[in-house]
Structure formats: C-alpha cells, structure tokens
Amino acid sequence: GKGKDAVGHEINPELRLMDALMLVVDAFSPQSNPAEYIPNLIAEMILDDLAIVENNIDKKTKKMKLTGDKSSARELELLELCKSHLESEKPLIDIDFAPEDEKMLRGYTFLSQKPLLLVLNIAEEDIPEAERWYEKYAHYVSPGKCDVAVVCGKIEAELVSLDPEDRAAFMADLGIKKPAVELVVQKAYALLGLISFLTVGKPEARAWTIRKGSTALQAAGAIHSDIEKGFIRAEVTSYEDYITYKTPAALKAAGKTRLEGKEYIVRDGDVMLFRFNV
C-alpha cells in the first residue's frame, strides 16, 4: 500500500525492504513537535500494515472457500492475530512470534515489525540538555525493538571537516561524548542484533559484521567459505588488549591471546586470526 506519513507525505514502499528504520526528527526548529510527530508516524505505519493484513485476510479467506484448500489456515490465524494487535494500535514488533510463524509472515515486510531508531536532531544551544532530551523519549526504548539517539546535526556537520585532534577538543568544549555517526551506528547494530569482529595484518585491517551469538566457525564463514570448511582454530584477542599491547608478540607475552575452537561465541570487538587448512 502507498500510505502517507504523519505530515501527509507518501510512505515509500522501498522502506518495506529495509531491515530496520531510522527516523530523524526535527527537535531544533520553533515549529518542531517530536512528542506529536513520533506517535503519529508510528500510528501511520500501524495503519499501513493493517490495510495489508485486512486485504490478505480477505483474499485468502475467499480462496479457501472457493478451493477448499486449507494450506493457508495457519497463515490466516497469524494474520488475524496481527489484525487484532494492530487494531489495538500496537506495532507488530511487540509480538514474539515463534520462528516458524515469523518466517511465514516475513514476506509481508510489515513496517511496524521493523526495529526503529529515533534520532532527535536538537539545536546547538540544547547540546548540554542532550540527556534530558533522551530521558523525555526514553519510554520508547526497548532492546531489539526501538532506541533513541540525540544529536545536533549542525554541529556534527562541522565536526566532519576537522582533523582528529581539533575534533576531540571541539567535542570536549561542547560536551559531546560521542560523534553522531558512531552513536547511530552502534545503536543500529544493537537493534539489529549485530556485532563486529576484526582481522588485522596484510593486506588490510578490516571489521566484519556478524549476528550476535555467532560462533567462531560462523565468523570464519563470513570471511570466506574455505576458511569455514578448513577451520582449525582461532587466535582471539580483545580489542581493548590489542590497543593496549599493540603487537602480537607483546600480547602473547602478556597472555592476552588465546586459542578458541569452532563453538566459541564471538564477542563484539574481538580481534581474530583464523588458522585453517584446505
């Protein structure tokens, strides 16, 4: 469906293809009203999903009556559950579907079932009040479902043009703890259940994205299928230790590098070297 958002803009159908949604909200201009805009937009997503649910319930019910085919019975039950939930003005992400049921509904790509990151774009003079802005909208925060980030877009644009030392000094003067890009990426990763591990050395140092809870074997597969097939072991160092000791020799001398097997659960920031044989 081509619904419209809270201010009358058409909702882009391509949003349904995204794994998560990020809503940047005007919290700096005199006419801004995030407290009204945010719930209105969520309500529009719920209504858009409801239209899809009702349309498919109608189609599948008619088909079942005409053909007698009961294969869609469970899907219809799930759609009716979705309908009831949406009619209660609640997003579908609040429903904890069983894996097989979630897979059955995946093709509908419901908007209200996607994790949502609310980014409040505040004025420069409100930077000291960033924590207060966060607390005002913290009731939206729910792990894996919704998070809130408070940034000042104007200042962040200026930070990009500065060299690292000047940027750090500028951030300290303004009381900015973390650059917006870093903050938004970290919150987006957490919402999607993603982490990064690192590989270093020739030809490059690189971060690899995997799902939280992945094993060392799955991490190896993220790099190349041959590494996964021939996996022997992984040499693992925490990011903090790597930054502190700097060289492989110093890390090993301090006992900070350990050997892990296939079932090791990779931690965010692990620096990994895979030993494999093909």
Average pLDDT over residues 142-147: 96
Distance CA 140, CA 144 (A): 12
Q: For 4-18, write each residue's pLDDT tens digit.
A: 444 444 567 788 889
- H/E stretch holding 14 reads none
How confident is residue 272, by pLDDT bands cut at 50, 70 and 90? very high
Residue 3: per-residue pLDDT: 45
- H/E stretch holding 51 reads helix 34-67
Residue 230: per-residue pLDDT: 97
Task: Name which of 63-67, 132-136, 192-196 the model is least confident about.
Answer: 63-67
pLDDT at 201 over 90: no
Residue 10: per-residue pLDDT: 59
pLDDT at 256 over 70: yes
Residue 2: per-residue pLDDT: 43
CA distances to 173, 206, 236 from 256, rounded to whole Å, are 36, 20, 8
Average pLDDT over residues 198-226: 95
Average pLDDT over residues 158-173: 88
Residue 160: per-residue pLDDT: 84
Residue 243 in tokens: 């930054």
Distance CA 114, CA 21 (A): 7
State pTM to two decimals: 0.83
Share above pLDDT 70 across residues of the chain, in percent, rounded to a whole number: 96
Higher pLDDT, 68 or 250: 250
Q: What is the CA radius of gyration of the chain?
A: 24
Residue 164: per-residue pLDDT: 85
Residue 71: per-residue pLDDT: 84
Inter-residue contact 151 to 121 (CB < 8 Å) = yes
Residue 15: per-residue pLDDT: 87
Residue 8: per-residue pLDDT: 44
Q: What is the DSSP secondary-structure string of 64-105? A: HHHH---TTHHHHHHHHHHHHHHHTT--GGGS---HHHHHHH
Cβ within 8 Å of residue 143, ≥6 positions away = 190
pLDDT at 147 over 90: yes
